[in-house]
Amino acid sequence: MSLPSETEAPERGISRRPVEIATAVLLIGLAGIVLYDSHGRGAGWDGGPQNGFFPARVGWIFLAASFFILWQSFRRPDGMFVTYEQLRQVVRVLGPLVLFVALIQPLGLYVASAIFIIAFMVVVGTSRWWSILLTALIVPVACFWVFELQFRVPLPKGPLEAVLGY
Amino acid sequence: MDDFASLVAGFQVALSWHNVGFMAVGVILGIVVGVLPGLGGPNGVAILLPLTFGMDPTSAIILLSSIYWGALFGGAITSILFNIPGEAWSVATTFDGYPMAVQGKAAEALTAAFTASFIGALSGVVLITFVAPLVAQFALRFGPAEFFAVFLLTFCSFIGMGRENRAKIIASLCIGFLLAAVGLDSISGDLRMTFGSTELMRGFDFLIVVIGLFGVSEILLTVEEGLVFKGKQAKIDLMVVLRTWAGLPRYWATLLRSAVVGMWMGVTPGGAIAASFMGYGLAKRFSKRGKNFGKGEIEGVLAPETAAHAAGTSALLPMLALGIPGSATAAVLLGGLLVWGLQPGPMLFVEQKDFVWGLIASMYLGNLAGLIIVLATVPLFAAIMRIPFSFVAPVILIVCAIGAYTISNSIFDIWLMLVFGVVGYVFKKLDYPLAPMILALVLGDRAEDAFRQALLGSGGSLGVFWANGLVATLVVLALLLLCWGPAGDAIAALRGRRRTDPETAEATR
């Protein structure tokens, strides 16, 4: 999903119809994939229903519903999907979140959480630096205590935890 | 009276010290989950589910269902104090609850809401106690065809009774079914729709989808409106509680009506939301003070809360007796039962008596505990909403990520959660309902198995769904429900064209 460039005018935004249409087209594509896969493996009868039998039937209903949604999206009055100001807020959360998930593999969940909290709070920018650092320290340590020590649920760990001996 | 003895035994199970402890912890966690944006009932239960895998199933379900009760109570707090409905079925509570808070009557509104919730939930539990065993006994005769007919009934009633655009409900259901089909096919043992990806071989776990759709997307929606909440103060003291309670018997008709509407709608899936609006609408029509509704009338708080909670609780009836959940949270609880190795459905009442009756007894106690705890701790939970969102949001998202990871120790699942978060955000903005998707995802495999087994038995003839009176009745009922909504809309459209809701107008075309 590509995000259009941000602008400063708060009342402007992405209107609803293109998003409706894009979603409907995407769903039609998904239905197409399902039908291709199911009929490819066999959606008929071979001493019993083949394994594509049920998904294929659901797929056809899905395809019909998606086309109907597409048709509807042209007919209904257009509205606002999201204003650029709202989109900016969402991106400010989504950006650090993607960074967080990307960092879990190399750094482990706890260090990634600390970085995520710092990134998030700096981007949102309403907190003082010491409260940011304190949060970034306390939350991962609390998570570690709850999950690793109390519930004994192993979470992804990275080089820092290895150095500390866990 | 056999059931009564079982219920007493159930109380003995539920009243053990550690189960009462789990109940209290569950209710408190549930209220937190209900109050915080981005952590609703289904999502809270989904995140905690993996942590309970090692527990005794009875204790685990008591903990998780108590979270459900807590979340139901918590939703009312945000609706009344902050005008933010915690769950979709608390929307009707905001109509009169928030105006009351604005007038400085927040404590009365909260007491009324909690008490109404309690009454609603209690009537739901009574219904479960007396009707669920009968339904289960009846359902023992069901074969695959009958079960598929019940599934069909469930999905048709979702489409027929839904308030959203019907094509979108169907699309949402189909997506759920298709997600459920991905991965290993349980009958033939073949891989389906994996396209060579090893990560997809495991299929889509519904917990991941729930956390993404209900958790991450909710945070994204919340930040859209900026990052601060403006709320009203609330302090509940015993005098206000007693005064409000003293006034309640006057509204017995409203309470009774809403409870009945709620119980009826709760058994049919997707009913809780509709029930709360119906309860509100009926109270408005029948009340002598109906004109004041929307300006802070206590009846306007009582009616939807009673109905919503009667429905939310009754939603567990089909889950227990037939293995078909009536709400998204019930679907998650059902997933939990499967993980603990319990097969929900009629056999549960025969084979796992202790478990079933322990759970039912815990529903009585959990709701009572919930009422007491929530009345005592409202100021505390209202304070949670005053913690800066820039602090709360990352913590919630980290907890979501941990929840998604712990289900099968896979980082790929966290990415999936993120993707479903964005999908949920777009879907919510475009009015695609999410609950049907979860329901279809949870039930997909079993519905498919029932369908295929029924067809295997009949040699591929669809006539098996007409073969006897029972299955034919169920199928006809399903089709009736499917047409109920569109037909109702058409009649309403014909009878004076005063339609303002574009959604319903759309569906009638």
DSSP assignments along A149-163, one per residue? IIS-----B-HHHHH
Q: How far is CA B297 from CA A89, B98, B293, in A?
A: 36, 10, 6
| A41 Cα to chain B: minimum distance (Å) | 8
What are phi and psi for residue A14, nearest 5 degrees?
Answer: -90, 130
Who contacts B180 (Cβ-Cβ below 8 Å, separation ≥6)? Answer: B203, B204, B206, B440, B441, B442, B443, B444, B445, B448
CA distance B297 to chain A (A): 33
From B203's Cα to the closest Cα of chain A, the distance in A is 14
Residues of chain A positioned with their CB less than 8 A from the CB of B174: 31, 58-59, 61-62, 65
The whole-angstrom distance between A9's CA and the closest CA on chain B is: 16
Using CA atoms in the order B469, B474, B478, B484, what is the torsion angle rounded to 10 degrees? 70
pLDDT, position B335? 81
- Name the residue with higher pLDDT: B285 or B96: B96
Using CA atoms, how far apart are residues B269 and B203, in angstroms rounded to an integer?
25
Q: Say if CB B382 and CB B77 are below 8 A apart.
A: yes
H or E element at residue B398: helix B389-408
Q: How many whole angstroms separate alpha carbon B432 and alpha carbon B424?
A: 9
- DSSP, res A108: B
Q: Which of B29, B174, B500 to substitute to test the interface with A, most A CBs within 10 Å?
A: B174
Does the distance separating the beta carbons of B187 and A135 come in below 8 Å? Answer: no
- Of residues B355, B349, B338, B347, the one with CA closest to residue B441: B338
What's the pLDDT tens digit per position in B227-285?
555 566 666 677 777 887 887 788 888 888 888 888 887 776 656 667 777 778 887 77
A-chain CB neighbours of B192 within 8 Å are 37-38, 41, 51-52, 55
| Amino acid sitting at position B171 | A
DSSP state of B215: I
Angle formed by the axes of helices B106-139 and B252-267, nearest 10°? 40
CA distance B211 to chain A (A): 14
Which residues have CB under 8 Å from A40's CB, separation 6+? A52
What pLDDT sits at residue A3? 46
pLDDT of residue A115: 92
Distance CA B171, CA A65 (A): 6
Q: Give strand pairing partners of B486.
A: none
Contact partners, residue B167, CB within 8 Å, separation at least 6: A65, A68, A69, A72, B507
Task: List, as ranges, residues 374-393 from B with C-beta within 8 Å of A.
Answer: 388, 390-391, 393
Query: Which residues of A are less than 8 Å from B167 in CB distance?
Result: 65, 68-69, 72
Looking at the DSSP bridge assignments, the partners of residue A14 are A82
Distance CA B370, CA B72 (A): 10
Q: How far apart are CA B279 and CA B285, in angstroms?
A: 10
Task: For A28-74, write each residue's pLDDT tens digit.
Answer: 999 999 899 888 887 777 777 777 888 888 999 999 999 999 998 88
Distances (CA, A) of B180 to A153, B183, B185, B482: 27, 8, 10, 23
pLDDT confidence band for B477 (50 / 70 / 90) = confident
Distance CA B45, CA B30 (A): 9
Long-range contacts of A125-129 (CB under 8 A, 24+ apart): A126/B227, A126/B388, A126/B390, A127/B388, A127/B390, A127/B391
* CA dist., res. B169 & res. B153, Å (int): 15
pLDDT recorded at residue A143: 87
Largest Cα–Cα distance in chain A? 70
The mean pLDDT value for B90-116 works out to 83
Q: Which B residues in the span 155-184 are in contact with A, Cβ-Cβ below 8 Å?
A: 165, 167-168, 170-171, 174-175, 177-178, 181
The single residue listed with the structure tokens 């402890």 is B21
The reply to whether residue B224 touches residue A89, judged by beta carbons under 8 angstroms, is yes
CA distance A150 to chain B (A): 11
In this complex, do B167 and A51 lie within 8 Å of one another by their Cβ atoms?
A: no
Confidence of residue A8 (pLDDT cuts 50, 70, 90): very low
Q: Does B1 score more than 60 pLDDT?
A: no
CA distance B468 to B143: 11
Enumerate the β-bridge partners of residue A108: A157
Q: Tell me whether residues B394 and A151 touch, CB distance under 8 A.
A: no
Measured between alpha carbons, how far is B231 from B213 in angstroms, rounded to an integer? Answer: 26
B459 touches chain A (CB under 8 A): no
Residues 67-126 of A with CB under 8 A from B: 68-69, 72, 75-77, 81-82, 86, 89-90, 92-94, 96-98, 100-101, 104-105, 109, 113, 116-117, 120-121, 124, 126
Q: What is the DSSP letter of A13?
A: E
User: Directed axis angle between helix B389-408 and helix A129-143, to 10°?
Assistant: 20
Confidence tier at A2 by pLDDT (50, 70, 90)? very low
Distance CA A94, CA A90 (A): 6
Distance of CA B86 to the CA centre of its chain: 12
Tokens of B192: 């389906």
State mean pLDDT over B464-491: 82
From B433, B90, B114, select the one nearest B279 (Cα to Cα): B90
The pTM is what?
A: 0.81
Beta-strand relationship, B183-184 and A80-83? unpaired
pLDDT at A9 over 80: no
How many Cα atoms occupy the beta-carbon half-sphere of B68 within 13 Å? 30
Span A138-142, average pLDDT = 89
Q: What is the mean pLDDT of residues B104-118?
A: 85
**Strand, helix or coil for residue A47:** coil
What gap in Å lies between CA B449 and CA B187, rounded to an integer?
8
Higher pLDDT, B238 or A111: A111
The Cα B277–Cα B262 span in angstroms is 10
Contacts with B345 (C-beta within 8 Å, 6 or more apart), sequence order: B136, B139, B321, B322, B323
Distance from CA of B171 to the nearest CA of A (A): 6
- Residues A81-104 pLDDT 10s: 888 888 888 888 899 999 999 999
Contact between residue B304 and residue B276 where contact means Cβ atoms under 8 Å apart: yes
A139 touches chain B (CB under 8 A): yes
B448 touches chain A (CB under 8 A): yes
Nearest to residue B211, comparing CAs of B89, B337, B38? B38
What are A69's two structure tokens? 């949604």
At residue B244, what are phi and psi to the nearest 5 degrees? -65, -40
- The answer to whether the Cβ–Cβ distance between B192 and A121 falls below 8 Å is no
Taking residues B447-456, report their average pLDDT: 85
- Contact B170/A61, CB-based, under 8 Å? yes
Angle (deg, nearest 10), helices B298-314 and B252-267 = 30
Q: Do A62 and B175 touch (CB under 8 A)?
A: yes
Is A109's CB within 8 Å of B393's CB?
no
Put simply, whether B487 touches A (Cβ < 8 Å) is: no
Residue B504: what pLDDT?
Answer: 43
Mean pLDDT of A14-25: 90
pLDDT classification of B86: cutoffs 50, 70, 90: low
Select the residue of B190, B406, B460 nearest A41 (Cβ to Cβ).
B190
Rounded to an integer, what is the distance from CA A104 to the centroid of its chain?
A: 16
The nearest CA of chain B is from the CA of A7 a distance in Å of: 16
Nearest residue in chain A measured CA to CA from B180? A55
Residues 20-59 (B) with a CB less than 8 A from some CB of A: 50-51
Q: Which residue has the higher pLDDT, A113 or B138?
A: A113
- Facing B224 at nearest CB: one of A33, A50, A90: A90
| pLDDT higher than threshold 90 for residue B420 | yes
DSSP assignment letter at B290: G
Give me the residues of B, 393-422, that contact A with CB < 8 A. Answer: 393-395, 397-398, 401-402, 405-406, 409, 411, 414-415, 418, 422
Strands (E), B273-365: none
For residue A102, the SS3 value is helix
**Pairs of residues, one from chain A and one from chain B, whose beta carbons lie less than 8 Å apart:** 168
**Lowest mean pLDDT: which of A1-10, B142-151, B446-455?**
A1-10
- Summarised one tens digit per residue, pLDDT across range B18-52 is 888 888 888 888 888 877 766 767 778 888 887 77
* Tally of helices (H runs) and strands (E runs) in chain A: 6, 2
Nearest CA in chain A to B405: A155
pLDDT over threshold 80, residue B69: yes
Tell me the C-alpha distance between B308 and B119, whole Å.
Answer: 11
